[in-house]
Amino acid sequence: MARALLLNERDNVAVALEDLAPGAAVAGPSGVVEVVERIATAHKVALTAIGLGEPVTKYGHPIGVASRPIQAGAWVHTHNLAFAPSVRPSASRPAPPAARLVLGLPTTFLGFRREGRRPGIRNAVAVVAASNCAADVVRGIVARLRQQGLPGVEQVAPIVHGSGCGMQCDGVDHAALRRCLNGMILHPNVTAALVVGLGCEVNQLCGIMSGLDGRARVASLGIQDAGGVARAVERGVELLTRAAAPAADERREPLPVAELTVGANCGGSDANSGITANPALGLAGDALVAAGARWVLAETTETFGAEAILAVGAANPEAGRKLLAAVRWWERHTAAAGITVDGNPAPGNKAGGLTTITEKALGAVLKAGSSPLQGACDYAEPITAPGLTFMDTPGHDAPSVTGLAAGGCSLVVFTTGRGSCIGFPAVPILKIGTNSAISRRLSGDIDLDAGGILNGVPMVDVAAAIAQRIIEVASGERTKAELQGLGDDAFVPWLPGPVL
């Protein structure tokens, strides 16, 4: 019998756990089915005949409809499965697993106390560009500081981007950019910061500084006032060296796990994502939530079709309403551009066995675990509610992680099935591979392999390993992205307005 996984007894497709050849036999709910064509690992095989327009069911939910008649044993993918906006999964959350509270999670991590802020897990300094016009000066300051070093400082993080001008002053883009920049300047992982502006841009230094309320050690520098690029670099090094001087006396100390804010994100997903890494990560999240931590799910465009599963039974009904409203906004936003949310699955997602956005979303929302929704926030807004929070972000990796980091996430756990090289300035990215093949191939980039679940490793064991790794990274252990120095260009604020 060939290896194929039936995820729910109501499903009419199974997931191939190995390449299936014509003539292979797979077990279905109604008996043995003969495979009629070659089907790649992680792709779907029909367990029964499915008529034109009939729902295709996976995870116990419809993921689309047959766009042509499908023979039992046939490959089910883009050529015969279509997205159907009117076919929605039912609103049902999984029951809390009995194992969620017995993962052996430590009660403390080793972090840095911050006056007036949550504790940090890194002692970084941030050099922040008010606009893209200041990016070269920021990079020059960062290069100098990395070369000379700063006592007690673990990282020098450039916060550069492609915006800051050509936008309406105090408009929607300006407000979103300010949230992102302020979130990084005041981030718990940042002990001191320098904000650099050209001088004439829309995003003025005075406006940024006035919004900080003196809650951090922050200096500012105008390039035009300093006398140009070379002098600005010299002056910036002096200012930040002075601002970061107290870091020499800062030490890690035991702090409650409840002080952590952890973001859950995915990128380069495959069909294994919703079988291995995502549900295991959700189980780890349940354990952290039980310890009082904040757990944050994002990527609104990757909840489409599964949003009601998150919203049902929300502990905070307003949070559920806000989540649903965000999904409706994205429907209008994409329709205005003449596209649909089903444009989200990328070619790599499809090569990895994912066909429709509904199928992708049903696997993606498993990162939330089974904890009830406590909060929902706009892009890059501060995350305040303990427990599960949803943040409205795009599905694109860099803007989504930027929103999570600016909202205050201590670190981000990032699941991937096709592979990813994302890092982020001052905020560690912990990568979980969804299958052992990609974890081996990208062994220098992926921190933990969840693919053993496909070969019988208990999911609770993988969840325990993820939870333990989160605590280790929070206590100072470097992720593979950090060890490679990745992330200098990953700060990408999502700005949905026009460029003027």
Does residue 497 fall inside a structural domain? no
Domain that holds residue 158: 124-249
Does residue 323 fall inside a structural domain? yes
Whole-angstrom distance, CA of residue 89 vs CA of residue 61:
5
Same domain as 277, residue 233: no
Same domain as 268, residue 202: no
Q: Read out DSSP for 341-398?
A: GGG-S-HHHHHTT--SHHHHHHHHGGGGTTPPEEEEE-TTPPP--SEEEEE---SSHH
Same domain as 64, residue 188: no
378 touches 394 (CB < 8 A) = no
The β-bridge partners of 158 are 127
397 touches 408 (CB < 8 A) = no
Number of helices (H), then strands (E), in the chain: 14, 23
Query: pLDDT digit string (tens) for 71-130?
Result: 999 999 999 999 988 776 666 665 544 444 446 788 999 999 998 899 999 999 999 999
Query: pLDDT digit string (tens) for 463-481?
Result: 999 999 999 999 999 999 9
Here the tokens at position 146 are 């990395």
pLDDT of 89:
66
pLDDT of 97:
47
Does residue 109 fall inside a structural domain? no
Same domain as 240, residue 134: yes
Does residue 110 fall inside a structural domain? no
Whole-angstrom distance, CA of residue 466 vs CA of residue 478:
14
Whole-angstrom distance, CA of residue 213 vs CA of residue 56:
54
Can you give the CATH number for the domain in which 235 is found? 3.40.50
pLDDT of 497:
83
Same domain as 458, residue 362: yes
33-36 contacts at long range (C-beta below 8 A, 24 or more positions apart):
33/72, 33/73, 34/72, 34/73, 35/2, 35/73, 36/71, 36/72, 36/73, 36/74
Among 214, 249, 284, residue at a domain's last position = 249
Does residue 119 fall inside a structural domain? no
- Token pair 């499908």 is found at 70
pTM above threshold 0.85: yes
Same domain as 192, residue 146: yes
Same domain as 77, residue 217: no
Can you give the CATH number for the domain in which 71 is found? 2.30.130.110
User: What are the strands of the beta sheet with 55-58, ordered from one edge?
Assistant: 55-58, 61-66, 81-82
Does residue 319 fall inside a structural domain? yes
Same domain as 342, residue 229: no
Single out the residue of 297, 290, 307, 239 nearest to residue 266, CA to CA: 297
Q: Coil, helix or strand for 101?
A: helix
Here the tokens at position 363 are 């696997």
pLDDT of 101:
45
Does residue 245 fall inside a structural domain? yes
Does residue 393 fall inside a structural domain? yes
87 touches 64 (CB < 8 A) = yes
Same domain as 343, residue 373: yes
Domain tally, the chain: 3
Same domain as 445, residue 363: yes
Whole-angstrom distance, CA of residue 218 vs CA of residue 240:
8
pLDDT of 92:
63
**Rounded to 5 degrees, what are φ and ψ at 102?**
-120, 40
348's CB contacts (< 8 A; 6+ apart) are: 268, 270, 418
Residue 21's CB is within 10 A of a number of other CB atoms, namely 11
Same domain as 172, residue 24: no
Same domain as 285, residue 242: no
Rounded average pLDDT per 10-residue block, the chain, 500 residues:
93 97 93 96 97 96 96 98 80 52 78 95 98 98 97 98 95 96 97 97 95 81 98 98 97 97 97 96 94 97 91 91 95 90 92 96 94 96 96 97 98 97 97 97 98 95 95 98 97 89
